[in-house]
């Protein structure tokens, strides 16, 4: 779905599409603190749709949002250096980039390797 604006109306329309595509169970939506995600009209809309649970990432903790890394790669693949005449072109570029990224997808690894165990460090220092 492409939208002409990032406002509450389009966000609620997006949530409606997600709800329709997910026929059963709760839906957890993890978002940043964009005003359209937290507006009065969105909160009122969410009260009428109890299956959708909103979880906000803490302010200043964007590193918790695993989508940010994917979004950086996606923007570089689909949007960098391009101008779009209408939302249909954006949708097409999005679909092509998503297909390309999915064809070479690998699991995300979050974090860094564990440090060597202390025993090995002691052994190494002892031999020096």
At 54 the three-state DSSP class reads strand
What is residue 22's predicted lDDT score, i.e. its pLDDT?
83
pLDDT(83) > 70 = yes
Tokens describing residue 49: 């749709």
Q: What is the mean pLDDT of residues 66-94?
A: 81
Give the single-character DSSP code of 56.
E
- The Cα 75–Cα 10 span in angstroms is 21
Percent of the chain with pLDDT over 90: 0
Left if phi > 0, otherwise alpha if psi is -120 to 50, otherwise beta: which for 31? Answer: beta
What is residue 50's predicted lDDT score, i.e. its pLDDT?
87
Q: Which of 17-31, 47-61, 86-100, 111-125 has the lowest mean pLDDT?
A: 111-125
Percent of the chain with pLDDT over 70: 77
pTM, whole model, 2 decimals? Answer: 0.54
Per-domain boundaries in the chain: 8-81
Q: What is the mean pLDDT of the chain?
A: 78
């Amino acid at each position: 779905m492409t939208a002409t604006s990032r406002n509450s109306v389009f966000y609620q329309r997006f949530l409606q599409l997600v709800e329709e595509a997910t026929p059963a169970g709760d839906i957890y939506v993890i978002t940043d603190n964009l005003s359209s995600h937290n507006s009065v009209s969105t909160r009122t809309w969410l009260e009428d749709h109890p299956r959708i649970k909103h979880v906000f990432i803490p302010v200043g903790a964007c590193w918790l949002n695993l989508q940010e890394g994917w979004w950086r790669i996606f923007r570089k693949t689909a949007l960098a250096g391009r101008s779009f005449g209408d939302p249909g072109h954006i949708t097409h570029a999005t679909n092509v980039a998503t297909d390309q990224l999915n064809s070479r997808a690998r699991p995300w690894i979050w974090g860094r390797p564990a440090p060597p165990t202390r025993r090995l460090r002691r052994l190494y220092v002892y031999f020096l």
